[in-house]
Amino acid sequence: MISLRYHIVSITAVFLALAVGVVLGSTAISGRLLSGLSNEKNTLGQQVSDLQTERNALNAKLAEADRFAGSVGPLAVKDRLTDRTVVIVTTADARPTDRDALTQLLKAAGATVTGELQLTDAFTDPNKADQLRDLVARLQPAGTQLPTASDPGTRAGGLLGTLLLLNKDNQPQASADEAASALAGLANSGFVRATQGVKAAQLAVVLTGGSATGDAAGDRAATVARFATQLDRSGAGTVLAGADGAASGTGAIGVVRADTASTSVLSTVDNIDSAAGRVVTVLALREQLEGRSGRYGVAGNAEAPSPAA
């Protein structure tokens, strides 16, 4: 007769066998799975290594090309801006190294740099737009008119165009005292910083960084874009030049290139952080003197790497 103890032992043996089978089966499956993952990891690791090698090779070629552009740059721009004057306007995020290198190239082209004006963070701050508009209206020299547009970038461009650029007859649009007083007013309010003795010039370069970041990035980029466009309308020509990212949707160059009214007058260069981009900036200034404009650089919304010969 089969006892209860026999049934318990039999059932226990069945479950024990099932548990052992599950453990052995999962171990085999895990081994195959781990082996597959290990192979895939090795493959991906090799692909990463290959891509890094390719990237390093491309970076080396780019660096060599930039060194070449730097060495031939002065020859490429020689006499392009002889007896011309240029004022440099920088935004708060513009790199000093780009400014200094561009200044040297402008001199190699025969131009005289009349000074630098830096736009501070406050200049593009949407929270200070009303203050900037009101101040611009109070500082406008007598006998001159501001643009009818109400945005702070255009209004400030109208004022600073009067102060920093010569008219079509190569004459100042404001007296020395008026210019000094207006620039002092903007500086005392924290909107600009100017080098001592900055003088009006025929041409202007607005030098900016990459894409705007943080809160209201689009508004900040739009202020710089509209400022540069209005500055162009105030003198013989202006080029807006920026670093990598400036041609994006949150970059000042990207805002300009999305507006046909702006691109019809203002030239843009999106790779000022390279020797080639600085050469193109000088060539674009020369093109501005001839009444032409263009979108130059390496971004997808550029029309060509440089002006046509």
CB burial of 51-69 (b: ≥16 within 10 Å; e: otherwise) equals: eeeeeeeeeeeeeeebeeb
Q: What per-residue confidence (pLDDT) applies to 172?
A: 95
Last residue of a domain, one of 41, 57, 77: 77
Domain end marker among 41, 61, 77:
77
One domain for residues 58 and 29 = yes
> In whole angstroms, how large is the CA radius of gyration of the chain?
31
Task: Give the largest Cα separation in the chain, rounded.
Answer: 125
What is the pLDDT at residue 71? 67
* Residue-by-residue pLDDT tens, the chain, 309 positions: 556 565 565 666 556 655 555 555 556 666 677 777 777 777 777 777 777 776 676 666 556 556 656 667 788 899 999 999 999 999 999 999 999 999 999 999 999 999 999 999 999 999 999 999 999 999 999 888 899 999 999 999 999 999 999 998 999 999 999 999 999 999 999 999 998 889 999 999 999 998 777 778 999 999 999 999 999 999 999 999 999 888 988 899 999 999 999 999 999 999 999 999 999 999 999 999 999 999 999 999 999 999 986
The answer as to whether 215 is a domain residue is yes
66: in domain: yes
| pTM exceeds cut of 0.85 | no
Are 73 and 83 in a shared domain? no
Residues 188 and 239 in one domain: yes
Q: Identify whether residues 286 and 178 lie together within a single domain.
A: yes
3-state secondary structure of 53: helix
Same-domain check for residues 165 and 181: yes
Asked if 207 and 238 sit in the same domain, the reply is yes
Please identify, among 46, 77, 108, the residue that sits at the C-terminal boundary of a domain. Answer: 77
Same domain as 96, residue 4:
no
Residues 56, 184, single domain; the answer is no
- Whether 302 maps to a domain, the answer reads no
What total of structural domains would you count in the chain?
2
User: Are 148 and 66 contained in the same domain?
Assistant: no
- The residue segments making up the domain with residue 19 are 1-77
In angstroms, the CA 202 to CA 21 distance is 88
Q: With 0-12 CB in 10 A as exposed, 13-18 as middle and 19+ as buried, what is 227?
A: buried
Whether 197 and 53 share a structural domain: no
